[in-house]
Amino acid sequence: MSGFFSASVLKIAIINIIGGAIFGFAIAFVPIHTTFTAINQNCTLYESQSSCGNVDGISCQWIAATSKCHFMGADCSVGHSDANCTAISSDCQWSYTDNMCRHAAGYSSVQSGIFSSAMIVGGLVGSLFTGPIVSRIGRKKSMTIIGIISVVASVLVHIASGTNTYGLLIAARVILGFAMGGICIVGPMYVEEMVPAEYSKPVGVLFQVFCTFGIVLAAAIGLALNPTDFTVDNVNMKARFQGFDAFMTVLSALVVLVGLTMEESRKWRPHGEDQSEDVQLMKVQEAADSQYTVAQMTGPLMIAFFLSLAQQMTGINAIMNYAPNITANMNLKPLMGNFVVMIWNFITTLVAIPLASRFSMRQMFLTGTFVASLACLCTGIPVYPGVTSDTTRSALAGTGIFIFILAFELGMGPCFYVLAQILFPSSFRPKGSSFTMVVQFCFNIIINLCFPIAVENLSGGPAGDQNKGMGIAFMFFGCCGLLSWIILVKWLQPFPEEGEDKHVDADHHE
């Protein structure tokens, strides 16, 4: 029997390692790039005449009388209320938190929503078509194509960052989404088909483990590249953008390399190729399984729907994409708060590896869903204005978010990609897992696009207390999670496949 760290196991595990890492980095790209954009467009941050004159993202001017860097045009600082702030210029915005009128810098809530959801839109399309494609051309060619698409998208991001072109950035993220939607299907599917039965669960959860590694890697790089001295001659945000973007390019190249060097799955053969006796026997089993139609798979497909609802509508991507804004309410600097959240996200996921050897995927997912849902309620209720004092609100909100991440990464995150495979019989797995990813990407789009807009509107606009909208959003997340948990407790079971003990993962078989 091969050991967990043997070459035969690791060459399969590397698919989930690289696939998870690039998917995580792609997710964590959003808050870093958004924060860098806000820095690049905020003249008031720059503290010397030379640094003010070298701002690249917007026109700034140094005012000698005040020894401060100002935006060209209207002086927003003369506004003393919400009403006269917006009357000065459409570029001026009243800050409820700072109780002052300031020039708007960075993306608007609509732009942020479009930016954070662009990759997910592409992911939806990618996951929709990956199922039939991977069945036709195989896992190896599919992974190579995914890598090539990722490289193309990364190059476009470099160009968009260098030219400050928002539209090109969105297009590049959509293209990247095509690849990320595919990798979420091909990676876990390949591992499930190839890994020895005794290591299927610990190797299976590696996709989520390295997804969180990619997230914390992006957070660490963003923190390292974050400018802290605004008195230097040139803060050079353009170079910082390019340095950050380069890591995505490297990961994309690694996906191409993995695709070129991986062994084709034993469960796929091109039409017309001679089949070994083992493959012929497998084909006989698949032919028996082919009786399953979409109508007959209605039950597993409905469970996949609620599995995806729990995975996304409890708000994990709201936290991942808007961590700098959320942690600002806890008095943390944007990228430092982002890094703290992401490192905790990664640490908690590591514990999922030994847990996966002791508990079923069902047990871990259901426990994580229940605790995460309660954590959302414990975050949203105290954040709502008037419920607690500012100090208590920050403490309770921080605790709620950290408990949520703990519950998500010990149960929901690592188990989702495994359950998305074993909910369905082998012959229906490409279609079933593709459907599952399409649904979770749909919910993901709703969260990414609507979260910043909903928080702002529920708060009464950009000048309102944003804690109001934040509180309502997290209470909504908690309710979605509890609804999903009630359904899944009764119906979530892996699909029983005769002769495949590795798929038997229900609680009563443990």
- Considering only residues 268 and 330, tell me which one the structure prediction assigns the higher pLDDT: 268
Strand partners of residue 95: 100
Highest mean pLDDT: which range of 59-73, 306-320, 451-465 = 306-320
Give which of 372, 245, 382 is closest to 319, Cα–Cα: 372
Q: What is the pLDDT of residues 59-73, one digit of tens each?
A: 888 888 888 888 887
* Position 285 pLDDT exceeds 80: no
Q: What is the pLDDT of residues 189-212, one digit of tens each?
A: 888 888 887 777 788 888 888 999
Domains of the chain as residue ranges with CATH:
7-41+106-265+292-509 (1.20.1250.20), 44-103 (no CATH)
- Considering only residues 153 and 2, tell me which one the structure prediction assigns the higher pLDDT: 153
What is the mean predicted confidence (pLDDT) over 39-54?
88
* Position 272 pLDDT exceeds 80: no
Q: How many residues are listed for the chain in this entry?
A: 510
Copy the structure tokens of residue 380. 């949203």
3-state secondary structure labels for all residues of 110-128: HHHHHHHHHHHHHHHHHHH
In this prediction, residue 309 carries a pLDDT of 95
- Considering only residues 364 and 82, tell me which one the structure prediction assigns the higher pLDDT: 364
In this prediction, residue 182 carries a pLDDT of 92
Tokens 């509508």 found at: 313
Q: Which amino acid is at 145?
A: I
* Position 84 pLDDT exceeds 90: no
In this prediction, residue 509 carries a pLDDT of 38
Rounded CA gap, 245 and 115, in Å? 15
* Position 80 pLDDT exceeds 80: no
Q: Which amino acid is at 354?
A: P
Q: Which of 162-176, 325-339, 345-359 shows the lowest per-residue confidence on average (mean pLDDT)?
A: 325-339
Contact, 82 vs 463, CB < 8 A? yes
In this prediction, residue 21 carries a pLDDT of 96
Give which of 152, 437, 205, 447 is closest to 317, Cα–Cα: 447
Please report which confidence band the pLDDT of residue 508 belongs to, taking 50, 70 and 90 as the band edges.
very low
Copy the structure tokens of residue 35. 């924060």
pTM: 0.77
CA atoms within 13 A on the CB side of 244: 33
Contact, 68 vs 46, CB < 8 A? no
Which residues, at least 6 apart from 492, have a Cβ–Cβ distance to it below 8 Å?
303, 306, 307, 362, 365, 366, 419
In this prediction, residue 201 carries a pLDDT of 78
Q: Which of 60-69, 285-294, 307-316, 471-480 shows the lowest per-residue confidence on average (mean pLDDT)?
A: 285-294
What is the mean predicted confidence (pLDDT) over 1-15?
75
In this prediction, residue 504 carries a pLDDT of 41
Please report which confidence band the pLDDT of residue 108 belongs to, taking 50, 70 and 90 as the band edges.
confident
- Considering only residues 101 and 50, tell me which one the structure prediction assigns the higher pLDDT: 50
Q: What is the pLDDT of residues 132-178, one digit of tens each?
A: 888 888 899 999 999 999 999 999 999 999 998 999 999 999 999 99
In this prediction, residue 44 carries a pLDDT of 82
| 3-class secondary structure, 95 | strand
Give which of 108, 113, 246, 253 is closest to 179, Cα–Cα: 253
Q: Which of 6-20, 219-233, 286-300 shows the lowest per-residue confidence on average (mean pLDDT)?
A: 286-300
- Percentage of the residues of the chain whose pLDDT score is greater than 90: 37
Q: Which of 72-76, 209-213, 347-351 shows the lowest per-residue confidence on average (mean pLDDT)?
A: 72-76
Copy the structure tokens of residue 212. 């969180």
Please report which confidence band the pLDDT of residue 325 belongs to, taking 50, 70 and 90 as the band edges.
low
Cα dist from 270 to 258, 267, 273, 382, whole Å: 20, 10, 6, 58
Tokens 């003990």 found at: 501
Which residues, at least 6 apart from 23, have a Cβ–Cβ distance to it below 8 Å?
180, 183, 184, 207, 211, 214
